[in-house]
Amino acid sequence: MSLTVPTLESLSSIKKFYSFKYMLNSDIHEKIFNKLKLEKVYSDFSNKVDVIDLYPGPAQQSVMFNNKYKPRNHILMESRLVYHRHLINNYQQSPFIIYKKDPYEWSSYTDLIDKEKIITPIKQDRTHVNDSLLLIANLTNPNSEALMMQWLSCVGNGNWLQRFGLVKMLIWLPTSTAIKLLACPTDKSRSKCSLLTEALTDTNLVATMNSKDINLFNKKIIDKCDPILFDSKDVLPDKSCSISLLEVTPKQTTIDFDYWDYVTKHLMILKGTTLRNCVESLGHGARDYFERAIKDQSMLDRCPGELTIEEINYLVDLFYKWPYKPDIYMDFIDIFQDSNS
């Protein structure tokens, strides 16, 4: 039996949004599901797939998703009082498992899986997307950007939910964050998080608000992803910044993430400085070493923000091979000493 899908009008009685935004147009959600083609990855939702749905809020998307796919377990992790009360009042007798824990807290996931064993995901090989576990999240609060960066780092480190393999994530974000994550070489918004996204995932812009912000995406991204567009009137609260939906699919890599993280952190702080003049930030003697080691000398006259992910990975590999590279695990001590000198 399908659940009744709440309408935007019926959800307008909710007055507190905790600085989050929710797209509440059921027709747009249906278009999104059709575009995602999740059944190609998850061939047996009802018997095999666990869905962890974070900050579901009004839960229109959650209801439509459950009606369409009927996953084995569908966890709604929601601790905010207004929304938790809304879920209890409307969906206590439903296929949902309403879990009153804060998605921001690491312990919420260890409690869910390791302690309470509400779901018991199976670890799968990292040669393919885990076809029994899916994450859905709303991180449209402007303060959630740092949490998104942590989740991406977890892909590289293979921890958090990514310890179970390559776990796909469907995440609503402020469009300003989506622009950073999908920025291409030479884009003004190109940053370490752009590199993180490109190096560790295949990320697709699924949907975005039809606003002036769409022009801030690189045209290559818009042409490639062909996102579904929706209007500001489809969002509550409607007087708010633009939001977008990303499909984040972790991919198999051979990256040594600790070294990669160290190199990209230092270079992207100086992303507008030529490589020749900023590479010394990697350690004393780095300029001499890289000037000798880099095959294409013209790269030295380009800035980190202009480099492709392949070129960045090439620099990380050279750093790894550098006999006199600094101990990257002592980097935090250097920062502490510098701040007190």
The answer to whether 41 touches 129, Cβ cutoff 8 Å, is: yes
The verdict on whether residue 21 carries a ligand-binding annotation is yes
The verdict on whether residue 210 carries a ligand-binding annotation is no
Average pLDDT, the chain: 95
Q: How far apart are CA 200 and CA 123, in angstroms?
A: 19
Of the candidate ranges 182-196, 226-240, 287-301, 305-319, the one whose mean pLDDT is the lowest: 226-240
Task: Examine the domain organization and report whether 218 and 264 are in the same domain.
Answer: no
The verdict on whether residue 78 carries a ligand-binding annotation is yes
Instruction: Give the residue from 182, 216, 250 where a domain finishes.
Output: 250
The answer as to whether 2 is a domain residue is no
Q: How far apart are CA 100 and CA 81, in angstroms?
A: 9
The answer to whether 164 touches 284, Cβ cutoff 8 Å, is: no
pLDDT at 331: 61
Q: Return left, alpha or beta for 327; rule: phi > 0 is left, psi -120 to 50 is alpha, else beta.
A: beta
Task: Examine the domain organization and report whether 20 and 137 are in the same domain.
Answer: yes
CATH number of the domain enclosing 289: 1.10.8.100
The string of pLDDT tens digits covering residues 245-258 is: 999 999 999 999 99
What pTM was estimated for this model as a whole?
0.94
The answer as to whether 131 is a domain residue is yes
Average pLDDT rounded to a whole number, residues 154-166: 97
Instruction: Give the residue from 250, 275, 307 where a domain finishes.
Output: 250
The answer to whether 225 touches 204, Cβ cutoff 8 Å, is: yes
Residue 196 CB neighbours (<10 A): 23
The verdict on whether residue 35 carries a ligand-binding annotation is no
pLDDT at 238: 76
Instruction: Give the residue from 228, 250, 272 where a domain finishes.
Output: 250
Q: How far apart are CA 43 and CA 81, in angstroms?
A: 35
- How many independent structural domains does the chain possess? 2
The answer as to whether 3 is a domain residue is no
